[in-house]
Chain A
Amino acid sequence: MFEDFIYVLTKYDVWLWRGFLLTAQLLVISVAFGTVLAIPLAVARVSKKVWIQAVPFAFIYMFRGTPLIGQLFMMYYGVGQLVANIDGIQDHWTWTYLRDPYWYCLLTFVLNTAAYVAEIMRGGIQNVPGGEIEAARACGMTPFTTYRRIIFPRMWQMIWPAYTNDVIFTLKATSLASTVTLIELTGAARKIVARTALPYEAFISAGLIYLIIVYVLTLGFKMIERYLRRSEKRKDKLPGKIKPMGV
């Protein structure tokens, strides 16, 4: 049994490594662009004007209410076919990109992540104490400055644990890229199974790599959380420093 594990890990280490690199790439780009896109969505979502609220609401509702694999197929096969039907597109220089599943995958993951993160941010923004916003107004801050100096820093503090969960969710979501022929980590494992017929060894190896990524991500995000919450440390109440008298 263990010989098979070692066989998979040594013979196909390059496949797993390349799979890991693609998974990491998809994760980083999706989370980065998804988060940037989520900020205006969340700000529009908490607007008091109904017609401004409606657009991000519909976007978030659609992306959170349907399976990611469906969104991916709709984008790659559905939109991909509509694009392919445009006259003369196949001779155009953009065609090499327009038929590549990689870009459809990224676009889907970015939009999906944006929808989930925007919903988390909405909760964060709404939970910023009203008094702090009033105080900022009273100091003469413009709405933009209020967002930049007061609301966003407070929001990040509050949403960080949920945001961490969402990054891990996105990591797991990248495994779907294997269904549109990309060889990321899950894709690499499927390829190894097809070659060696050793499903346990290949899938469990991939699973272990995912667990390591999750572990490292969790550690890193915990450290950032401590940084974000640095203002909440009370120096006068450290329990370790209090000593009972007479000891």
Chain B
Amino acid sequence: MFDLYGRGWQMLEGGFVTIQLCLSVLPFMIIIGLLGASAKLSSFRLLRIIGESYTVIIRGIPELLVILLIYFGGTIAIQNLAEWMSGEETRVDIPAFWSGVAALALVQGAFASEVFRAAMQSIPVGQIEAATACGMTPRQIFLRIKLPQLWRFALPGLNNLFQVLIKDTALISVVGVEEIMRKAAIGAGTEKAPFTFYLVAMLMFLAFTTISLFVFNRLEKRAARGIARA
């Protein structure tokens, strides 16, 4: 029973794919989040409207729907683009893995832009004024003053988002990426032991979310090390 009908390795492979998914989404999520937050706080009205509508729309639609839309719709869009550019009939397949990463980055990016917006607004105005008075350009202010502190204010929110992200990767199993849930479904189907396989899958996810919680708590302590003394 403990080798899971000889499928223990399969489950571990699934776990590896889940980790790959999470780590692939993470940078895109942060970049989209920073862009979204900057758009929301921009002085241009059009950018603010774009930023706001992006988050409102994405946060009101189920993640599963976004994943399905990108997987089924994205293939057609890229195929049309390729046909338009090459002028001949082409057959394109985006790998399910990357369409899943794109969908989750789009969804988590919307939530991340809320986190980053709140974090940017937590930076004391006096510091920005001081930086301006020192003659820093807006780019320097962003890189030297805002970004280093953003990290500290955004970490609790990102902690939460990363938990959600780990759990959301399970949804990508719906389009056939062989991560934990999909491997468990295959095992459950072929070995006729759904309870065992799904139980193992759940325990793996529980381990991942617990580890992530632990790591983020350490990071939060580390990010606040300059503040704790006061």
Contact = CB atoms under 8 A, between A and B. Distances in A.
Interface of A: 62, 64-71, 73-74, 77-82, 168, 171-176, 178-179, 186, 189-190, 193, 199-200, 203-204, 206-207, 210-211, 214-215
B28 interface: no
Contacts of B209: 65-66
Nearest to B205: A66
A26 B18 CA distance: 29
Given A168-B60, A207-B65, 12 more contacts: A66-B205, A69-B170, A73-B181, A74-B195, A74-B202, A78-B188, A172-B63, A174-B62, A175-B63, A189-B65, A199-B72, A203-B72
B76 A176 contact: no
Contact of A78 (B61, B163, B195, B210): B195
Interface of B: 57, 59-65, 68-69, 72-73, 76, 163, 166-171, 173-174, 181, 184-185, 188, 192, 194-195, 198-199, 201-202, 205-206, 209-210
Contacts of A62: 202, 206
Contacts of A168: 59-60
Given A78-B195, A199-B72, A69 B65 contact: no
A193 B59 CA distance: 23
22 contacts: A65-B209, A68-B167, A70-B184, A70-B205, A73-B184, A73-B194, A74-B194, A78-B188, A78-B199, A80-B194, A81-B192, A173-B62, A175-B63, A175-B64, A175-B65, A186-B64, A203-B68, A203-B73, A211-B57, A211-B60, A214-B59, A214-B60
Nearest to A79: B195
Contact of A199 (B59, B73, B192): B73
A12 B116 CA distance: 41
A67 B171 contact: yes
A70 B61 contact: no
A179 B65 CA distance: 12
B198 A70 contact: yes
B190 to A, nearest CB: 13
A68 to B, nearest CB: 7
Closest 8 CB pairs of A and B: A67-B170, A175-B62, A78-B195, A199-B72, A77-B194, A214-B60, A74-B198, A67-B167
A207 B73 CA distance: 14
A77 to B, nearest CB: 4
Contacts of B167: 66-68
B62 A66 contact: no
Contacts of B60: 168, 210-211, 214-215
